[in-house]
Structure 1
Amino acid sequence: QGRIISRLGDPSAPKAVSLIAIHEHGIPDSFPDAVVTEADEKKAVGLDGREDFREMPLITIDPWDARDHDDACYAHEDTDPRNKGGHIIWVAIADVAAYVPAGSALDHEAKKRGNSSYFPDRVVPMLPDRLSGDLCSLKEGVPRACIAVRMQINAKGEKISHSFHRALMRSPASLNYEEVQAAIDGRPNLRTNPFLKPVLQPLYAAYAALLEARRVRQPLELNLPERQITLDEVGKVQSVNFKDRLDAHRLIEEFMVLANVAASETLNEKASSLLFRVHEEPSPEKLDHLRDTAQAAGLNLAKGQVLKTAHLNRLLSQAEGTDCAELINMTTLRSMTQAYYSPQNFGHFGLALRSYAHFTSPIRRYSDLVVHRSLVSAHGWGDDGLSPRDIEELDKTAAHISETERRSMVAERDTTDRYLAAFLSEQVGGELEGRVAGIAKFGIFVKLDNSGADGLVPMRSIGSEYFHYDRETNTLIGSDTGVIISLGQRATVRLAEVIPTTGGIALELLALDGAALPKGRKNFAGRNPRRKPTKAKRQAAKLKRKVKRSRS
């Protein structure tokens, strides 16, 4: 027995793809009337009780299609003679706390959602559009409430001091990453040209200094391309591409990391309650798997020492430019623990920071709103800071929003898988190139070059012989031919089947590293033979001895 609670339409229709994931994972996608009413009644915050930053050229730099603008920045040379070659960096963040009082209907709904969720065809926002796309958004030419941090750095990019300010700003320009990068590369347009010398060049000068500090700190330097799915007007996949990673992206990231560190440090110094962003080091088991993968690729990750990101960066550097670069980057990522929120500080392993908090995206993350309220309370800026109940429930809030973040990540991944399957559905029967990205008892996973999609080659369909899975070396070994299938090998596959509603992609393996699979005597169709073939045994033993020697 059951009842229909919602109709999503044809499950194979393009516009149903993200809706399936939204409902499957229980992401709230409509706001209660009381929340919408409360948001609609809000008026723009004025200058009362705030510093006036309206003449400061704080610009926003975002994706070209961004609807909400959390952050703006400005930098200039430090005129202090004691800080020769230093810079002053300003980062201004939307003052969401001014519009979302603790305990209000808006607050309860934002906390319930925990974060915004992003899909190729839609955004499920944490806050109603009246706030996220209007009053809180740092729009061009419009006065907007903000919490800003002024940071003084030296010529080596090290932060010397910082201070927080509650202000009213007015951004002179909302620019996108591509046009900012083009301007710095000597191709300014009508929008960026007036800001090139007074704003953009000083921003990049400060960024160059921060890069020096980054090289010393050695945060984890993963190099994984970000996929971009482009849809047409009816929601069908038009293209799948990989985004170029520009210095403009890195600049904003470095500024935001610095501002987040400043927020964490200030609240620590003032003994204020907050939510830290915690990232613990990898487990020994996952590190062993990464080490085995590296050794199979002819690379080395040292053992028997306290793990630091510098050790992992050394491995990533060894892999750079080789056929196994993507595999090592992906395996390193998979060896990482999931970051989470906590009222207790355990540091951030990936960023190589002792203390870290999220401050820079309060429109789309509830954690940042909590940090903003804590800053308001710590500075005595008003009565819209952390409430006693907020403080009492910090542990519960941290666990909840860590879970909503994971929920959104899974829903976004499932949606991407379904879109990719739909995109590939017209290529069934065709040959594609990829690389072995995963090996298990039931088959191998191949990451396809043209889309980055992962497809499964079932064990029963591999060649014409039984393949033995060796857990220690993470390889498949042919019973008759002794052929070895290992991570990182180039693979030619035939697209056998796709199921867009589930995102499933089935492949048939045709060749490895350009050579067709050799023929065995018999196809066991996925059944284990009564005795393990002696050739597979010998090959596995040989690989194990090699691994043991390299470990010692």
Structure 2
Amino acid sequence: MSDHLPSKREIMDWLAEHPEASSKRDIAKAFGIKGAARIDLKRLLKELEAEGQLERKRRHYHDGHTLPPVSVIQIIGPDDAGDLFARPMEWQGEGPEPRILFLPRGADGAVGKGERVLARLIAVQGEDYHYQARLIRRIGTAPHKIVGIFRKETEGGRIVPIDKGADKEWRVRDDATLGAKGGELVEAEQIGPKGRLGLPLARVTEVLGDPGAPRAVSLIAIHQHGIPDDFPDAVVAEADAAQPAPMAGRMDLRDLPLMTIDPADARDHDDAVAAMIEDDGGATIWVAIADVAHYVRPGSSLDREAWTRGNSTYFPDRVVPMLPDILSGDLCSLHEGVDRPVIAVKMRLDAQGNKTGHSFHRAMMNSRASLSYEQAQAAAEGNPDDQAAPLMEDVIRPLWHAYGLLKSARDRRQPLDLDLPERRIELTPDGRVKSVNFRDRFEAHRLIEEFMVLANVAAAEELTRRQRPLLFRVHEEPSPAKLDALREVAQASGFVLAKGQVLQTSHLNRLLAQAQGSDFDELINISTLRSMTQAYYAPQNYGHFGLALTHYAHFTSPIRRYADLIVHRALITAHGWGDDGLSGGDMERLPETAEHISATERRSMEAERDTTDRYLAAYLADRVGTELTGRISGVQRFGAFVKLDETGADGLLPIREIGAEYFHFDPDAQVLMGSETGVEIGIGQRVLVRLTEAVPTTGGLMLELLELDGKAIPQGPKGRRKGGPMRRKPTQARLAEVKRAAKRRRKRG
């Protein structure tokens, strides 16, 4: 028996080095502890648990604040730059789970989204992720559903994936087809590792119908991303039983000139605004938000379903709401001329646009009008229609006066001022793509945005002052690596992003201003956006870098975001407005809620983006073979991404379609470099391409490069780089020579 009982530090160090052997028996064996000494070891482990240094799970121990060097992770898919990220399967620490960059090697084979793997982790600093991961072994197949096209065969069939770029297929036996016909869209689940021909086996669980049907596009995304789109009976029953809120206990704001300003096709109205001009040149602003908390009580079926969904998801042809339509589209929606319960904030601005005070109220309002952005903008420019004309003096003019004050305050604060046009896909009545345009951007949009930002700030400040728990909207500053990449893009475009100073949004705005109106305007805006970290929800306040704000929470959209409902409940509890405030259960699981709704938000964004890609591919499918202009928006080892001018769609330019020579990928310079000519293909360059393939079911667009910056690309046999002496991979000496020549050209340019 060993005379030496290990110290707590020795135990922690040993566990870090041996994560795969972490039971009490393993620890005892490692330190030679036997007999009665095991009681002392048990005491040490209990103390480490109590101190929060270890987490015990299924009789195994590990450091609860970091990930062990060998962990099970789940692949969550590539980001916009093509990097593959993963999440830990068991995170026990405080705060958001760490972000993991998965680095596949050539021998690993394809690793799919949703797949679980055992990986070796290395902690990193100064990046927008926390660990790098290398594959040790696969431990199972993706737990998520398979959505694909069923191909009928003599015996059973195959399922072809609809994921862009995916090449994995599944075999289906005769008894597992569920009657699916060839060419139909199906949902399935994997049931075995391999069947005949080495393909994994799957069984069809639902036949979704014709994938070419106009309205199947969003349905594909809903099933593919696992977005709940059917409300359980208990949820529907609760919503149907809801009654209009009573006036008792509420401030009467029904005579206040509140109105809503939304898109013309808005499906709900959850915010209303009003303003009054003060004698000192300042203004009083009111922002009234639908009182969803009155209808969605903590612990109810409605609440559990809203938490599960996390947010509403919007597609061109439908919305998957967080709440049933009787609430989101009726009882909670601030319709014109109808009494509606709200939580309202009154804010006072001085003549310079600074907020000098605020107060929150649980109230009842009656909307004076519901205007579209186009109506409000026309009225502000002196061309009101019949609906807006009576509102000019008491409603619209005071709103624009207050907006002018907020603009001056915004100019001093210098939030990040990105200008990224939003695509608008217009559908025919039967769901086919009629046109793809960019949404008009009005001052009326900015007015509502500024009013909402100020209300969100007031909510965060109010709850912080009252020391009440809430969920903050967090946006951390870019990592040094992302900034260096942005700086390289800026320099390659002829602009400057200063180095060696504490980054502020004003520095990025100066870069954006340099590019404004130039050929690189969109490129610099997109590159700046890509350098940003992704915003998320957290119970801790880490500030909002992009908005240049120290206190920020989401308060203004509780119909479509669960985070806002939490903030509403916190305000109800803080002010003692009723028993429907933040419950003990809400408070206990704030970290879990923050992590969950951050994930559902990302899920919705991915589903919406995939749907847009599929609609764009359907729109362009009839134009295969035509020539299109665009700009290089990304570069990877396998090729380049091109953003097309006309539609804003992103297409892939495979490296095999670029010229007649071998192209080397330089990750530092983010360019593809020709081994013979030294020609460089990098972000921002203008291109002329030919559309070679458009696949609506995947959203994939394939392109062929014809011209780069107005110059033709040297072509191989049949116009492509097929064979020939220049197809050979260059030697390292040749690459070094080409790199030196390219560097000299960049310096001269």
- What residue is the counterpart of 2:345 in the other structure? 149
Q: 1:545: how far off?
A: 6.9
**Structure 1: distance between partners of 2:386 and 2:548:** 40
Match for residue 259 of structure 2? 59
Aligned match of 2:335: 139
Of 605, 608, 612, 1:416 maps to: 612
CA–CA distance in 1 between the matches of 2:716 and 2:700?
29
**Any conservation in 1 of the 2:292–2:559 contact (CA below 8 Å)?**
yes
Q: Are positions 1:200 and 2:396 aligned together? A: yes
Question: 1:260, 1:358 within 8 Å by CA — same for their partners in 2?
Answer: yes
Residue matched to 1:68: 268
Say whether 1:497 aligns with 2:497: no
Name the counterpart of 1:189.
385
Alignment of 1:86 onto 2:282: yes
- Once residues 325 and 500 of structure 1 are traced to their aligned partners in structure 2, the CA distance between those partners, rounded to angstroms, is 30
Kindly indicate whether residue 575 of structure 2 is the aligned counterpart of residue 379 of structure 1: yes
SS at match of 1:491: strand
Which position in structure 1 is the counterpart of 2:549? 353
- Residues 635 and 682, structure 2, Cα contact 8 Å, conserved in 1: yes
Offset of residue 198 of structure 1: 1.2
Deviates more, 1:88-97 or 1:472-481: 472-481
C-alpha distance in 2, partners of 1:338/1:224?
16
Q: Please say if residues 675 and 730 of structure 2, whose CA atoms lie closer than 8 Å, have aligned partners that are also in contact.
A: no
* In structure 2, C-alpha distance between the alignment counterparts of 1:525 and 1:491, rounded to whole Å: 24
SS of aligned partner of 1:6: strand
**How far apart, in 2, do the equivalents of 1:365 and 1:410 lie?**
16
Higher relative contact order (CA 8 A, sep 6+): 1
Deviates more, 1:459-468 or 1:265-274: 459-468
Cα distance between partner residues in 2 of 1:163 and 1:179: 30
Question: How much has 1:536 moved relative to structure 2?
Answer: 5.2
Q: Structure 1 residues 383, 546: CA separation in 2 closer, same or farther (over 3 Å shift)?
A: farther
Paired letter, 2:736: K
8 Å contact kept, 1:97–1:369: yes
> Highest CA radius of gyration, 1 or 2?
2
Shift of 1:67: 2.0
The alpha-carbon deviation at position 542 of structure 1 amounts to: 4.4
The answer to whether the 8 A contact 2:487-2:497 is kept is: yes
The answer on 1:129 being equivalent to 2:328 is: no
1:24 to 201, 224, 230: 224
1:302 aligns with 2:498: yes
* 2:739 is the counterpart of 1:540: yes
Between the aligned partners of 2:747 and 2:497, the Cα distance in structure 1 is 14
1:518 alignment partner in structure 2 = 714
TM-fit CA distance, 1:163: 0.2
SS at match of 1:7: strand
The amino acid across from 1:181 in the alignment is: Q
Deviation at 1:201, TM superposition (A): 1.0
* CA-CA distance at 1:367 after TM superposition: 0.2
Residue 355 to residue 544, structure 1, CA distance change in 2 (3 Å):
farther
> Would you say the 8 A contact 1:456–1:505 is kept in 2?
yes
Gaps of 5+ in 2: 1-190, 192-201
Secondary structure of 1:222's aligned partner: coil
Q: Which residue of 2 aligns with 1:165?
A: 361
Q: Does 1:46 align with 2:246?
A: yes
Query: Alpha carbons of 1:469 and 1:187: their partners in 2 closer, same or farther (altered >3 Å)?
Result: same
352-361 vs 2-11, greater mean Cα deviation = 2-11
More deviation, 11-20/130-139? 11-20
4-13 or 451-460, larger mean C-alpha shift: 4-13
Offset at residue 535 of structure 1 (A): 6.4
Structure 1 residues 345-391: Cα deviation after superposition (integer angstroms, max 9, x where no partner):
00000000001000000000000000000000000001110001110
1:477 corresponding residue in structure 2:
673
Q: 1:484: Cα distance to partner?
A: 2.1
Spell out the pairing of 1:187-336 with structure 2 (5 A cutoff): 187-336=383-532
The share of aligned pairs that are identical, in percent, is 63
DSSP-derived class of the 1:46 partner? coil
Q: How far 1:491 moved relative to its partner?
A: 0.8
Alpha-carbon distance in 2 for matches of 1:8, 1:53: 48
- 1:519 and 1:547 mapped to 2: Cα distance? 24
Give the aligned residue type for 2:740.
A
Higher mean alpha-carbon deviation, 357-366 vs 534-543, is at: 534-543
Question: Do 1:460 and 1:525's aligned partners in 2 also have CA atoms closer than 8 Å?
Answer: no
1:494 partner SS: strand
Q: CA deviation at 1:437?
A: 0.9
> C-alpha deviations, 1:486-507, integer Å up to 9, x for none?
2211111111011111111000
Q: Tell me the equivalent position of 1:436.
A: 632
Q: Deviations over 1:246-281 (max 9, x none)?
A: 000000000000000000000000000100000001
Q: Deviations over 1:18-39 (max 9, x none)?
A: 1111011110001001100100
Task: Write the letter of the residue equivalent to 1:10.
Answer: D
**Aligned residue for 2:36?**
none
Q: Distance in 1 between matches of 2:408 and 2:274?
A: 19
Asked if structure 2 preserves the Cα contact closer than 8 Å seen for 1:60 and 1:174, the reply is yes
After superposing the two structures, state which structure 1 stretch, 297-306 or 112-121, moved more. 297-306
CA, structure 1 residues 3+470, in 2 after alignment: closer, same or farther (shift >3 Å)? Answer: closer
Cα contact 1:492–1:511 (8 A) shared by 2: yes
Q: Distance in 1 between matches of 2:410 and 2:738?
A: 45
- Verify the 8 A CA contact 1:149 1:259 in the aligned structure 2: yes
CA deviation vs aligned residue, 1:80-134 (integer Å, no higher than 9, x gap): xxxx211000000000001111000000000000000000110000000010000
Cα distance, 1:6 vs structure 2: 2.6
In the alignment, structure 1 segments of 5+ residues that lack a partner are none
CA distance in 1, matches of 2:747, 2:494: 14
User: Cα deviation per residue 1:26-53 (whole Å; 9 max; x = unaligned)?
Assistant: 1000100110010000000021000111
Q: Amino acid of the residue matched to residue 340 of structure 1?
A: Y
Letter in 2 for 1:538: E
AA matched with 1:26 = G
Matched, 1:10 2:210: yes
Report SS of the residue matched to 1:145: strand
Summarize the alignment of residues 397-416 of structure 1 with structure 2, pairs less than 5 Å apart: 397-416=593-612
Task: Note if contact 2:634-2:641 (Cα within 8 Å) is conserved in structure 1.
Answer: yes
Letter in 2 for 1:99: Y
Contact 1:229 1:241 in 2 (8 A): yes
**Against the structure 1 CA distance between its residues 548 and 391, is the aligned structure 2 distance closer, same or farther, given a 3 Å change threshold?**
farther
Q: Which deviates further from its counterpart, 510-519 or 302-311? A: 510-519
**Which stretch of structure 1 is more off in the superposition, 335-344 or 533-542?**
533-542
CA contact (8 A) 2:715 2:721 kept: no
Q: Do the aligned residues in 2 keep the contact of 1:166 with 1:381 (CA within 8 Å)?
A: yes
Deviation of 1:525 (Å): 5.8
Whole-Å Cα distance in 2 between the matches of residues 309 and 152 of structure 1? Answer: 26
Letter in 2 for 1:343: P
Alpha-carbon contact 2:470-2:539 (below 8 Å) kept: yes
Aligned letter for 1:14? P
Contact in 2 for aligned 1:76/1:89 (Cα 8 Å): yes
Between the aligned partners of 1:418 and 1:232, the Cα distance in structure 2 is: 16
Whether the 8 Å contact between 1:473 and 1:547 is mirrored in structure 2 is no
- Alignment partner, residue 460 of structure 1: 656
- The residue type paired with residue 347 of structure 2 is M
Kept in 2, the 8 Å contact 1:481–1:519? The answer is no
Give yes or no for the alignment of 1:119 onto 2:315: yes
How far off its partner does 1:237 sit? 0.6
In 2, Cα distance between equivalents of 1:42 and 1:423: 42
Q: How many residues align?
A: 546
Distance 1:292 1:528 in 2: 29
Name the amino acid aligned to 1:70.
Answer: D
For 2:697 and 2:569, locate their aligned partners in 1 and report how far apart those are by CA, in whole Å: 42
Q: CA deviation at 1:515?
A: 2.1
Does the CA contact (< 8 Å) of 2:274 and 2:285 recur in 1?
yes
